[in-house]
Structure 1
């Protein structure tokens, strides 16, 4: 009985513990999934809508399993760091139509699953590139209608996964860097409409772009290369952009284009065969343009009837001349005009060039005519054609990056319009490359022994000097004529290869340079040695002059005769011996000095730098004499 009682108590305790545990889990789960009071939630708290609530900041308590968060049409001004840190499952974040002026670095930390970020119609003046570092799956970014003034280089390189980028209506945009779109290799859609652009930005990095919206800008002229690299582009919108001129070959890079909209511009004509490279173009909008329906429009009318049949309204009506006004462009009849074929204004000229040089063959014609080149191997080349070394410029010029010997031949330029065609040819003559010897010229001497008979010598042909400077190898043959009775066969001296000549010449230059440097060093050392010798000789000369000056004899005449010869006679003062002293103006006699012949002799050999005055103690009159 006691055992049953203990078992029953243990079961009750376990049941109580499990109940408490379940209650705490439920309570915690309820707290996590609670919806902010100012918002509305649905789909088990995965969708949270907080629009038009007058919010000035992001509300607290957003459920952690939220996938869709709408905060549009509020008064949020600042997005602080780590605001959404706990929302790991967020996929769509809508912050459009707020007053956001600043987004701090790290504001989107934690949003690793986000694929759509909407920031349109706010007050951002710069692109918050630093806040994009947390995005690894972002697919769409909306920045439309913000007062952004410039787009710097690598503004979006932190989000290479981006597929759609909306930058439309940036009316204060004044500058787009050349590398603004670097890194967006996966981008499919780009909107730059209504941005007041006057120049086409650099779109080359967008190799995967398929749709481009550029409407409502200011592009008076579309030039070749404006869409360089956009091989994958399928849709291009350029409506209402004040376009008046589209140059020849402007769309040659858009080989996959399907839809082109040029409506509502100022176009009056288009270059011949402008759409020829667009093999897949099926939707073309040219309406609301002031078309001039003359000879230059005939090709367009034919092309529209041929490639876009049963759509007369796509391409507008004639504006001039007066008798054609209101007529559809596709209805223009070639019989209505008297047109002539194109004229080549600047035909190509024959060219002699050495191998490896750059050369251009010009073929200038009217802007509305097409230009094609026929190569010597019967290959046809036009602007945009793929060739490793040859290219055709927009003005019809054929450009050789560097010519080869195999490029020699006849090149034919053909210009055409709807009425006919004209052609002109030029001969390209290519010679062997000259020896490039940097900044020096080499001379070689060839000596040939011959007989009075015909001299057979192999002399390399003279190469024409190109306009630009290049050192030329000059061979100066020296012929030694020697008459003999028995004729000898002609001696042909082989000419060394250019590489051997260059190598030998370089060795000679190095040897000459070493000799010059050695001579310079030798002359410098000799000059230094001479300078040292001169200095030592001058110093020795000065020392000898000093010794001679020290031997100067001072003759001193004393008016008063000294009585006696010894020290004890007459009480007269004795003349002391002269000693070498550094003080030349004061003489101090030696104690008990005696005037003797020996002392006088010693005084004559004493070294004294300059004359001095001997003063006596007995008011003698002293006479100075300097020899």
Structure 2
């Protein structure tokens, strides 16, 4: 039986209103947290508390969004937009207080122009469809400290991809399709402490890729098809000199365990060296070293070193202070990375 249009409108009017977003004080950050997770929203609710400091909008249907929607929230510091099927984000509205923006597990094929976010320190664009970055893509967010780009489809990067990020401490490029990296990629990253390159298609790194005199805390190089010939001399030498900061990750649902394991960075080719640790493999290569190195004698790969593996634990994408000494365990809800059930958006 066909329901008259007027009757249908009347029935809709009698339906209960949408579930309001829950609000409570976040005791860690001392900010009002508004939770709108999983409500099949297609737009940002217009009646949010004006003193909202943390806004959780993950697992909704916000396929296209403008930051203008957040202008009334003058105290907003943290927005979570993970798992929305987001294909377009329009920025430009000046959000002076925003520090953390999570865009992970969406459908972005290009990085949004990051205008109007001068205070941004944490940006997660993990598990989208990014294929590359524009030169100077982050110049407008010079205060960025943590940048998560893992799990995208990037095959190459311009040498100025991270230009201007002089405050960046952690950069995650893991689980992409990167085949090569430009020598100058890290030049501007004067405070970089943690670099994730694991799970790519890298066969070698250019000489002087790691800036001289730069101190790292964690570098992840495993799960790449390293081609172990004389072109890998630079990387092998660097691993030997920095063996105590070369780590292997073991990602879990809520945390990532990491192990000091330079011997887990393995050759993939040629066949005779497959599965051999780069730090130990042997090749006779006559290589003239730089004048500030040990001279121009013939170098025989395979000066064996013995490292003691240790296990530590830290959250998926932390900001790791320089005085950090012990394990950290932080729930993954600040950097969503696990699949969740998304309400139907049809």
Residue 390 of structure 1: aligned partner? none
Deviations 1:29-49 (A, max 9, x none): xxxxxxxxxxxxxxxxxxxxx
For 1:417 and 1:153, the matched residues in 2 are separated by 48
Question: What is the RMSD of the two structures over their aligned residues, measured on CA atoms?
Answer: 3.1
CA deviations on 1:281-319 (whole Å, 9 max, x unpaired) are 121111011111111212211211212338434751011
Output aligned runs, 1:484-495, within 5 Å.
Answer: none
Question: What residue in structure 1 maps to residue 129 of structure 2?
Answer: 196
Residue 251 of structure 2 corresponds to: none
How has the CA–CA distance of structure 1 residues 319 and 67 changed in structure 2, closer, same or farther, with 3 Å as cutoff? closer
1:244 matched to 2:179? The reply is: yes
Instruction: Give deviations 1:425-484, integer Å, cap 9, x for gaps.
Output: xxxxxxxxxxxxxxxxxxxxxxxxxxxxxxxxxxxxxxxxxxxxxxxxxxxxxxxxxxxx
- Corresponding position: 1:107 with 2:57: no
CA distance in 1, matches of 2:239, 2:178: 20
**2:84 aligns to what?**
146
The reply to whether residue 124 of structure 1 matches residue 62 of structure 2 is: yes
Count matched residues: 264
What corresponds to 1:50 in structure 2? Answer: none
Gaps (5+ residues) in structure 2? 1-14, 246-259, 298-346
The TM-score, its normalising length taken from structure 1, stands at 0.39
Q: Which residue does the alignment assign to 1:170?
A: 106
Match for residue 209 of structure 1?
A: 144
State the 1:415 CA deviation: 10
Cα distance in 2 between the residues matched to 1:58 and 1:116:
18
CA distance in 1, matches of 2:263, 2:105: 27
1:555-566 mapped onto 2 (5 Å cutoff): none
Once residues 314 and 184 of structure 1 are traced to their aligned partners in structure 2, the CA distance between those partners, rounded to angstroms, is 41
Asked if 2 retains the 8 angstrom alpha-carbon contact of 1:315 and 1:330, the reply is no
SS at match of 1:145: coil
Between the aligned partners of 1:286 and 1:417, the Cα distance in structure 2 is 24
Alpha-carbon contact 2:64-2:86 (below 8 Å) kept: yes
Q: Deviations over 1:11-44 (max 9, x none)?
A: xxxxxxxxxxxxxxxxxxxxxxxxxxxxxxxxxx
Cα deviation, residue 277, structure 1: 4.4
SS at match of 1:151: strand
Q: Distance in 2 between matches of 1:101 and 1:319?
A: 47
Given that 1:298 and 1:332 are in contact with CA atoms closer than 8 Å, whether structure 2 keeps it comes out as no
Conserved? CA contact 2:51–2:75, under 8 Å: yes
Give the structure 1 partner of residue 329 of structure 2: none
Distance 1:175 1:220, change over 3 A: closer
**Aligned residues of 2:171 and 2:195 also touching (Cα < 8 A):** yes
The DSSP-based 3-state class of the residue aligned with 2:52 is coil
Name the structure 2 match of 1:57: 18
- Cα pair 1:212 1:237 within 8 Å, conserved: yes
Indicate the SS of the match to 2:64: coil
Asked whether the equivalents of residues 252 and 278 of structure 1 are also in contact (C-alpha less than 8 Å), the reply is no
The 1:223–1:417 alpha-carbon spacing in structure 2 relative to 1, beyond 3 Å, is farther
Unaligned runs of 5+ in 1: 1-53, 70-88, 343-413, 422-627
Supply the distance in 2 between the matched residues of 1:260 and 1:312 (Cα, whole angstroms). 15
Following the alignment from structure 1 to structure 2, what is the Cα–Cα distance between the partners of residues 216 and 59?
A: 33
**Aligned residue number for residue 487 of structure 1:** none
Q: Is the 8 A contact 1:258 1:280 kept in 2?
A: yes
How far apart are 1:273 and its partner, in Å? 1.4
Instruction: Compare CA radii of gyration and give the structure with the larger one.
Output: 1
Instruction: Note the alpha carbon deviations across 1:393-443, whole angstroms, 9 max, x for none.
Output: xxxxxxxxxxxxxxxxxxxxx99999859xxxxxxxxxxxxxxxxxxxxxx
The structure whose RCO (Cα within 8 Å, separation 6+) is larger is 2
**CA pair 323-417 structure 1, distance change in 2 beyond 3 A:** farther
Does 2:273 correspond to 1:337? no
- 1:235 partnered with 2:170: yes
Deviations 1:179-202 (A, max 9, x none): x21122211110011110012151
CA–CA separation in structure 1 for the residues paired with 2:96 and 2:263: 38
Q: Is the 8 A contact 2:179 2:202 kept in 1?
A: yes
Counterpart check, 1:161 vs 2:101: no
